[in-house]
Structure 1
Amino acid sequence: MTLAQAYRWLLACYPRAYRRQYEDEMIGVLLDDATPGQRRPTTRDVLALLGGAFRAHVRQVGARLSVDAWREATQVLGLIAALVLFVRAARLPVLHLALLADGYPDGLGQGAVSGPAWLVSVVWLIVAMVAAFRWSRTAAAIAICAATLEVVRVVQDYAHYYTVFNLWPAVLAAMVPVALAIRAPRSARAVVAHWRLGLLATATLVSVAAPTIATVTSADRRTEAVRGTWIFTVGVGQVEAILLTAGYLLFALAVLSTPAVLRRRLLALLVPVGVTLVLTRVLLGTTGTFFERSTNDGVLGALTPAQWTTLVLAPALLFAVTVSILHHRERPGPQRA
């Protein structure tokens, strides 16, 4: 392999449009700077070219995400994500309140919900209500507080139980303030239309009320628990499982019923959450693989640095790949004469 071919192989890491415009010029400059008799790129040149390729891809993804369709998608994502996080945080506090109203003085007894759970749920509800209008920057500022609480909760769970089983809510929570901070031509309410707002409100009410309905009415007292690692996290009764599934399906319907341009971007924005969900609930703990978890007296051990690196980089890289594929798919073809 000649020196020019080696440089061209390194430049293949750059975006295609960038190579089309600058590749020959860059190879010429690199060859002019090479020492006589040099047969391979220096370590400095390799690092500089790979760093430049990374920066070029970041700029390209940023440029693609700056169009109005992506900006509006981020507003909708912020609204839906805030509602989903509210549902997750509020189910047990609402159940606790319902039991108190139904004559149970201690509510859930030993499982009574602490103050922070109420605080997190209320903050996410406020974020969703503010995000539904055009006050996205205000919602983003409030979401920072809620996202911080979610991250702290994950850190505490990891320290106590050595598990990252529920890492996906922290990832979704961290995305909310970033998404809402992006200025868009229209508010989330204007983008999703009124009937979808009603669908989201119904999904929220059904999901939040599911444990309360099943417990207060004793509907699940004689039914076996349904264990759903992906959906329910822990075993729930059959009636509660049906109500939760209905709520989740309504959330999915609200997303899938949006116009194609918005729907594709919403699904792309959810890729980091989906990848995290797969990594933490399917691959982590798989025996005989890179994601196998060590155990100590039956307690899961801490993740290795390589596993943590995978958890951080894999969602970001797959999101960038998804954006590139979507851009390539929507790019207009050559005009016919």
Structure 2
Amino acid sequence: MSEHHEQLARRYERLLALFPAAHRHEYEDEMIGVLMAGAKPQQRFPGLRETANLVRCAAWMRLGGRGASVADGRWAPAAAVFGLVASFMMLTYQLGRAGSSLASFWRFDDVFPWLPGRLWLPLAGWALAVVFAFTGFRLVAAAGAWVAVLAEAVTAFRDYPDNPTGVLQSWWMLVLGVGGALALTARGRTRPQASLGARRTVVLTLAFAMLAVLPTIEVMLAVVTRTPGGAVDSIGALGGWNTSGGFGYYYVSGIISVVLGRILVLVILYCLVRTAAPVRRRLLAMFAPALALQMLVPVAFNGFIVSTQRFNPPVLLVPGQWVLLIVFPLVLFVAGALLVERGERHAYLIALGRSAEREARLKRATAPS
């Protein structure tokens, strides 16, 4: 076998590592043979189409498809929990933005307007996803999540020519929403409360519900100072803070958000940390792309965010930047999934070795002298 074929075979083996161990044990040699037979002369890397097909088939089997063993079905419970939590995060954001906006208009401008139409569809979609994520109607939950994601994407890209920084700042949330929709689609019949436990599911739900109403409470408790003519002179949040913007575009953010909000976030994290270790490891791999983007974009795109505002019309993202935004979360998830599988396989082999050593010692101890 030539050097090119050896490199290609090794890369195919890395892709096949995505498949369940039982499936690889039985079919890996045959699959590599078929893939190598269809390769072109001097080919060094798997083709894009066959790579996508292998990843799709491996994900389907990992999530409970034909050929998956009990040990390989750990992705389905993790997907159920991730889909629920991601939907909760997006719904909390939408409710916080809508509630604080309505409360602000009512308190500061003495009017009570209707919510903009572009907020209704994401709000309804994520609400539908959250409600049906607890049930066996996975297609209904997935449909609500996909409708909400598409509605938010349409809104973001509609404003992109005039406000490219808006797409950048919300990109991590779009990635989180897409991941949640995919998880709800692929979770099968698994329900999140089976992995979280009944009590932790209730606690997590109440924590997200309280987070959703915090922005509205902040606005309602804010101290409003008006001029003699009745116009708003200043707005002081409870506790002395007064900021605009933030996760939910809150008009004010005081001690309620700073203290109680962080406590609620810690409660949610505790509920997730208390899940079984296999589920917890997979949740880290699923959340990693969105969390990494939230930290990466402000740093990697700081120059673009600062400079594009100086031009009219603003400067738009170049193809290389789009490739980074799209490919980076995909690569990060695949790398995380491979690390999880490799770590668990390594731990399994160590456990087998220790078991064999114990059996050998017992045989030596019971053997007649």
TM-score of the superposition, structure 2-length normalised?
A: 0.72
The answer to whether structure 1 residue 128 and structure 2 residue 130 are counterparts is yes
Q: Which moved more, 1:320-329 or 1:298-307?
A: 298-307
Q: Deviations over 1:118-152 (max 9, x none)?
A: 44223312210111122112111222211111111
Distance in 2, matches of 1:80 and 1:202, equals 12
Moved more, 276-285 or 321-330: 276-285
Match of 1:15 in 2: 13
| Alignment-derived partner of residue 301 in structure 2 | 284
The alignment's C-alpha RMSD in Å is 3.6
Conserved 8 A contact 1:75-1:187 = yes
Q: Whole-Å Cα distance in 2 between the matches of residues 45 and 234 of structure 1? A: 59
Structure 1 runs (4+) greater than 6 angstroms displaced = 22-30, 100-104, 232-235
Distance 1:292 1:235, change over 3 A: same
Displacement of 1:71: 0.8
The answer on 1:304 being equivalent to 2:321 is no
Conservation of the 8 A alpha-carbon contact between 2:63 and 2:188: no
- Counterpart of 1:85? 90
2:341 aligned to which of 327, 331, 336: 327
Find out whether 1:150 has 2:152 as its counterpart: yes
Counterparts of 1:201 and 1:28, CA distance in 2:
50
The answer (yes or no) to whether the contact 2:244–2:252 under 8 Å persists in 1 is yes
Matched ranges for 1:57-72 at <5 A: 58=55, 59-60=57-58, 63-66=61-64, 67-72=72-77
Instruction: Map 1:91-106 to 2 at 5 A.
Output: 91-98=96-103, 105-106=110-111
The one-letter amino acid of 2:327's match is L
Distance 2:266 2:106 in 1: 29
Kindly report which structure 2 residues correspond to 1:200-279, keeping only aligned pairs within 5 A, or say none.
Answer: 200-218=204-222, 220=237, 223-225=240-242, 236-239=252-255, 240-279=257-296
Aligned partner of 2:201 among 192, 197, 203: 197
- Supply the distance in 2 between the matched residues of 1:98 and 1:28 (Cα, whole angstroms): 63
Between the two proteins, what is the percent identity of the paired residues?
23
Q: What is the TM-score normalised by the length of structure 1? A: 0.78
Between Structure 1 and Structure 2, how many residues are aligned? 315
Q: CA deviation at 1:183?
A: 4.5
- Measured against aligned partners, the alpha-carbon deviations of 1:214-263 in whole angstroms (never above 9, x if no partner) come to 2211261672346897x677785232333332333233222222121111
Whole-Å separation in 1 of the counterparts to 2:78 and 2:32? 38
Match of 2:41 in 1: 45
**257-266 or 173-182: bigger deviation:** 173-182
Which 5+ residue runs of structure 2 have no aligned equivalent?
18-27, 65-71, 224-236, 357-369
Q: Secondary structure at the match of 1:176?
A: helix
Instruction: Give the counterpart letter for 1:248 in structure 2.
Output: V
Q: Which runs of 5+ in 1 are unaligned?
A: 31-42
Change (3 A) 1:57 1:314: farther
Question: Does structure 2 retain, via aligned residues, the 8 Å contact 1:128–1:139?
Answer: yes
More deviation in 98-107 or 152-161? 98-107
